[in-house]
Amino acid sequence: MSAHEIHALSGAYAVDALDDLERARFEDHMAACAECRAEVAGLQDTTLLLAGLSDTAPAPELRAKILADIKTVRPLPPVLARITPRRPRRWANLVAAAAVLGVIGGGTAVWQNVHQSTPTPGISQADRVIEASDVQLSNASLGKNVSASLFRSKDVGSAVIVTRNMPAAPSGRVYELWLRDKTGTLQPAGLMTKGGDSKILLTGDAVDATGGGITVEPKGGSKTPTTSPIAVFDFKQST
């Protein structure tokens, strides 16, 4: 996303009107953009005026409840400055990806907690897709804490599947990744052998794909799916 386009998200960010993906991307951008940081700070201060229109005291019992609660909660230590002056880009992307996938507790972290240093430039093709201004995203949940996301950027001309907590493929089998073409046929787009957290750049025609999927296939993969998909992605329903 160009600096100009992402800058336009500052207002929506200040009022929490971004979805998780946009929020993660904007925070990543903001870490490196002093102009956006300053604008967001001013706009957040402006929202305080709106908040001031609705003052309502909570029930009096709440005060005692909260003051009793804090006795059992240890305040966290401050975040110390990192010893390494520059953080590898990989880490920034992990943070962004983790935020997208909701790993960072409830999405309530304020950006200043997450970003302590400026990320360095130089990014992979997969990250280029994820950070593209025209990126489309479709998420699939594969069970408790297991999820996969398909990212596609027509501008970059590629698609990426990001998985989280995938169990390893059954022995003798692999995960096969697919892109669905205009006729609705799944076309092979790559193999994934290991589980866990992966980010895989897909092969094949990403630009015209209408979605994709993941199946479990015999080792070496198949030309067409031989099992029903464990994840289905659809760009039309994506946000």
Partner 1 sequence: MPHLQPVPTGDPSPAESSAATLAAQLRASARGDEQAFAALYDATSARVHGLVLRVIRDPSQSEEVTQEVFLQVWRTAARYDESKGSALSWLMTLAHRRAVDRVRAAEAVSRQDTSYHQNSQTVPHDVTAEAAEASMEGRRVRSALAELTPVQREALELAYFGGYTHTEVATMLDLPVGTAKTRIRDGLIRLRDAMGVGQ
134 or 208: whose CB is closer to partner 1? 134
The answer to whether residue 55 forms part of the interface with partner 1 (CB under 8 A) is yes
C-alpha to C-alpha distance for 116 and 103, rounded to whole angstroms:
18
Using rule CB under 8 A, residue 59 touches partner 1: yes
213 contacts 226 by C-beta, under 8 angstroms:
no
Is residue 43 part of the contact set for partner 1 (CB under 8 A)?
A: yes
Residue 233, helix vs strand vs coil: strand
Q: Distance between CA atoms of 157 and 111, rounded to whole angstroms?
A: 30
Does 110 contact partner 1 by CB under 8 A?
Answer: yes
**Residue 155, token pair as written in the block:** 């501008």
Helix (H) or strand (E) holding 179: strand 173-180
Q: Which stretch binds partner 1 (CB under 8 A): 36-44, 167-175, 219-227, 229-237?
A: 36-44
With contacts defined by CB under 8 A, name the span among 5-13, 144-152, 192-200, 210-218 that binds partner 1.
Answer: 5-13
Among 109-117, 149-157, 195-203, 221-229, the segment contacting partner 1 (CB under 8 A): 109-117
Q: Tell me the CA distances in angstroms from 11 to 5, 16, 119, one per residue in order.
A: 12, 9, 23
Distance CA(198)–CA(161), nearest Å, equals 8
Q: Give the x-and-dash track for 188-207 against partner 1 (CB under 8 A).
A: --------------------
- Judged by the rule CB under 8 A, the positions of this chain that interact with partner 1 are 8-12, 14-19, 37, 41-59, 62-63, 65-67, 69-71, 73-79, 106-108, 110, 112-113, 239
